[in-house]
Amino acid sequence: VTVNAVCPGYTDTPLIRDAIAAIVAKTGRSAEEALAEMTAGNPQRRLITPEEVADTVAWLASPGAASINGQAIAIAGGEVMVG
């Protein structure tokens, strides 16, 4: 049995789009400003894609990751490296 954690950063999903809309409604900032604030800690300055998360999960479930165990895999465009 292997156990790993996949830890995505802000991912481009309806949940994040709703959060951006809520920030706009509450602060008067533009959607672009809200998105820029959310991604400011990410060196790539972008949201993670759901496909990137899925690809990582698929890799962890593959024979190629058989020796990976007990790890927290950050999928965050480097944000944990600079934060």
Q: Residue 83 above 70 pLDDT?
A: no
Residue 58 one-letter amino acid: A
Residue 55 to residues 28, 35, 45, 72: CA-CA distances in angstroms? Answer: 36, 24, 20, 15
- pLDDT tens readout for residues 63-81: 999 999 999 999 999 987 6
Domains and CATH numbers, the chain: 5-82 (3.40.50.720)
Query: What is the pTM (predicted TM-score) of this model?
Result: 0.86
Confidence of residue 43 (pLDDT cuts 50, 70, 90): very high
Q: What pLDDT is stored for residue 82 in this prediction?
A: 59
